[in-house]
Chain A
Amino acid sequence: DSGVTQTPKHLITATGQRVTLRCSPRSGDLSVYWYQQSLDQGLQFLIQYYNGEERAKGNILERFSAQQFPDLHSELNLSSLELGDSALYFCASSVGTEPNSPLHFGNGTRLTVT
């Protein structure tokens, strides 16, 4: 058990809809990262938050947004969903922002857009 909790485990929704994915980091970790895993793109970094502030941005679409709350949990909001957004979304956490700190991953949320 990595200590990172993601909910829900599965989400099925229709095109055009909006969903929210939730992540609770390991106790003591201040950084949260979001990744998208799909068959064609592999593991793509989306965005990182550190102690409530956005720290780094990757290949995140404008239809997607995220935030980290004072209790350090994070939410990833996906709107105007398209079929191509179907993927496994992972949250990871680390203590800080040091580049030599390993990330600890949750079990992911599987999003299916129909």
Chain B
Amino acid sequence: AQSVTQLDSQVPVFEEAPVELRCNYSSSVSVYLFWYVQYPNQGLQLLLKYLSGSTLVESINGFEAEFNKSQTSFHLRKPSVHISDTAEYFCAVSHSGNTGKLIFGQGTTLQVKP
């Protein structure tokens, strides 16, 4: 069975500092990986996705994630965070043969402090 583990429930960081949100997955077949962001009182928005090809994927707002098959990880990074990045971040996995549903991790709250 698939599972996703987000290793940190909360990550406090100062503005303009780099950040890494960690995600590990478990699956015995080919996977597709996603990061979603949830701002307060809103739904989840897709941040970026890994489907195939280059293991480094980027979002339009400066986040990037690297798929590491040997370590079964898909960590999310940003070199310099802004106050507006404060939100909850969810890692999710799907796999070949799946119907399309996503399995989510428990989420990581990123708190950017001035």
Contact = CB atoms under 8 A, between A and B. Distances in A.
B99 A48 contact: yes
Contacts of B107: 42-43
**Category for how many chain A residues contact B:** 20 to 34
Contacts of B44: 90, 92, 103, 105
Nearest to B32: A100
Interface of B: 32, 34, 36, 41-46, 49, 51, 90, 94-107
B98 A42 contact: no
Given A42-B106, A42-B107, A43-B90, A99 B42 contact: no
B113 to A, nearest CB: 23
A9 to B, nearest CB: 9
Contact of A4 (B32, B43, B90, B97): B43
Interface string A27-71: 000010101000000110100101000011010000000000000
A96 B46 contact: no
B43 A2 contact: yes
B46 A97 contact: no
Given A96-B100, A100-B51, A107-B42, 17 more contacts: A33-B100, A35-B104, A42-B106, A43-B104, A45-B103, A48-B99, A48-B100, A48-B101, A56-B100, A90-B43, A99-B96, A99-B98, A100-B32, A100-B49, A103-B100, A105-B43, A106-B43
A46 B65 CA distance: 28
Contacts of B99: 48, 50, 55-56, 97, 99
B43 A102 contact: no
Contacts of B101: 33, 45, 48, 56, 58
The 10 closest A-B pairs by CB, nearest first: A105-B43, A99-B98, A43-B104, A99-B94, A105-B44, A56-B99, A97-B100, A42-B106, A107-B43, A100-B32
A45 B43 contact: no
Contacts of A102: 34, 46, 49
